[in-house]
């Protein structure tokens, strides 16, 4: 797979934000996959996935999203609301003259994916969410499920200004290094390099501050073919919302539960990649 080259390019949107993007494959308006990373990662998490999907004939794009790209790092919390994060994806695709695409997201990238898929179903050929349930199901679980309230307690801590940034940087990012226990050394170092940049970690945490719990508005049912892959040992997302997601998807829907934690790509790459490919081709 690694015979295929991954290029790092910059794409400037109509809002004058410049996104660092990893790109693989032959440029095309068709057979396009867009990959959205979560926290605390960047598009580097998709490196192996890009090689894989390029080898299957796809043109693949993975941006460092708002706050993670140096040229797309606004100052205010309101600039990280989920509607703005979704608009970034559309504007990036428009710069490539891509009208529709397969969308795959993990963690916060999956949350953006759910939102975007509900708002722009004609743009999304298929959607794959890794780890994250439909946003309505997640919102309900935060209100009604004690397990999810416990798992999401860290989100409450992230609402404190300045302190989370300080704590996460202590001892050369010791806490984040523990979270990245399943990631290889080069991947970890790339994340640390990003979070050492001015305001990068603050901007990443602003995703949580802008969309804290009920600030994520209710979204519509999903009409697009959708795959949800969930690791049954996930420490951050419980089964309550996962089990409720199906009732919000009116298109073809499949839930795949695997023996993994939150870090599906790092732990079970082959199983996850094959499941996604089957979904996209189907």
CATH class of 6-281: alpha beta
Residue ranges of E strands in the chain: 6-12, 18-24, 32-36, 59-63, 101-106, 124-130, 226-231, 253-258
**Residue 3, pLDDT score:** 60
Chain Cα centroid distance, residue 9: 19
Q: Give the C-alpha separation, 10 to 4, whole Å.
A: 19
User: How confident is the model over 187-236, as pLDDT tens digits?
Assistant: 999 999 999 999 999 999 999 999 865 455 689 999 999 999 999 999 99
The structure tokens listed for 131 are 């780890």
User: How confident is the model over 97-114, as pLDDT tens digits?
Assistant: 999 999 999 999 999 999
- H helices present in 96-134, as ranges: 108-119
**Residue 215, pLDDT score:** 54
The structure tokens listed for 72 are 């797309």
Estimate the crossing angle of helix 185-195 against helix 163-179, to 10 degrees: 170
Q: How would you write the pLDDT of the chain (282 residues) with one tens digit per residue?
A: 556 789 999 999 999 999 999 999 999 888 999 999 999 999 999 999 999 999 999 999 999 999 999 999 999 999 999 999 999 999 999 999 999 999 999 999 999 999 999 999 999 999 999 999 999 999 999 989 999 999 999 999 999 999 999 999 999 999 999 999 999 999 999 999 999 999 999 999 999 999 865 455 689 999 999 999 999 999 999 999 999 999 999 999 999 999 999 999 999 999 999 999 999 998
Is the peptide bond between 152 and the residue preceding it cis, with omega within 30 degrees of 0? no
Contact (Cβ atoms closer than 8 angstroms) between residue 96 and residue 72: no
pLDDT mean across residues, the chain: 95
Query: With the CA atoms of 28, 64, 255 and 114 taken in that order, what torsion angle do they form, in degrees rounded to the nearest 10?
Result: -90
**Residue 217, pLDDT score:** 60
Q: Give the C-alpha separation, 144 to 78, whole Å.
A: 27
- Note the pTM of the prediction, 2 decimals: 0.96
Q: Give the C-alpha separation, 282 to 40, whole Å.
A: 31
Contact (Cβ atoms closer than 8 angstroms) between residue 88 and residue 95: no
């Amino acid at each position: 797979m690694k015979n295929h080259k991954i290029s790092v390019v910059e794409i400037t949107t109509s809002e004058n934000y410049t996104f660092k993007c990893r790109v693989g494959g032959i440029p095309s308006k068709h057979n396009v996959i867009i990959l959205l990373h979560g926290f605390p990662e960047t598009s580097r998490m998709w490196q192996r996935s890009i090689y894989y999907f390029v080898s299957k004939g796809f043109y693949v794009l993975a941006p460092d999203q708002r706050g993670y790209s140096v040229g797309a790092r606004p100052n205010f919390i309101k600039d990280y609301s989920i509607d703005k994060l979704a608009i970034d994806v559309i504007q990036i695709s428009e710069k490539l003259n891509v009208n529709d695409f397969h969308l795959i997201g993990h963690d916060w990238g999956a949350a953006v994916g759910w939102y975007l898929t509900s708002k722009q179903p004609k743009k999304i050929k298929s959607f794959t969410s890794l780890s994250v349930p439909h946003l309505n199901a997640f919102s309900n679980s935060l209100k009604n499920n004690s397990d999810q309230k416990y798992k999401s307690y860290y989100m409450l801590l992230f609402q404190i200004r300045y302190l989370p940034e300080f704590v996460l940087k202590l001892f050369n990012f010791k806490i984040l290094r523990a979270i990245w226990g399943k990631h290889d050394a080069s991947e970890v170092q790339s994340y640390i390099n990003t979070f050492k940049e001015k305001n990068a970690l603050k901007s990443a945490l602003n995703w949580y501050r802008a969309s804290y719990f009920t600030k994520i508005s209710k979204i519509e049912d999903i009409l697009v073919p959708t795959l949800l892959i969930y690791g049954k040992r996930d420490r951050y997302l419980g089964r309550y919302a996962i089990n409720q997601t199906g009732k919000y998807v009116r298109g073809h829907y499949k839930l795949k539960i695997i023996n993994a934690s939150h870090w599906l790509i790092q732990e079970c790459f082959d199983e996850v990649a094959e499941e996604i490919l089957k979904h996209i081709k189907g």
